[in-house]
Amino acid sequence: MFRFDQLIRPDMAVRDVKQAHPETAAVFEQFQFRTVCDDCDIETVARRNGLNVMDVVDALNQAISRSGFKA
């Protein structure tokens, strides 16, 4: 089970998440996050793309969960 401070949050920068959790790159691609947006936070990019922010965050957290992430 993850602690809250281990989960990906909407206010995190895309680049930071990709660097800490390379397995999330496929999720960002699935939601069509462009690399030019890597310095933005997840919430901003999701809203600009007309996506539900929590759907994106949930998918990212599922990706790190499947990889067996341990802090």
> By three-state DSSP, how is residue 13 classified?
strand
Containing 47, the helix (H) or strand (E) segment is: helix 42-48
User: Tokens 């809203």 identify what position?
Assistant: 47
pLDDT beyond 70 at 1: no
Q: What was the pLDDT predicted at 6? A: 80
**pLDDT tier, 2 (very low <50, low <70, confident <90, very high otherwise):** low
pLDDT beyond 60 at 60: yes
Containing 4, the helix (H) or strand (E) segment is: none
Kindly report the average pLDDT of the chain as a whole number: 91
Q: Which pLDDT tens digit goes with each residue over 26-55?
A: 999 999 999 999 999 999 999 999 999 999
List domains and CATH numbers for the chain: 8-66 (1.10.3910.10)
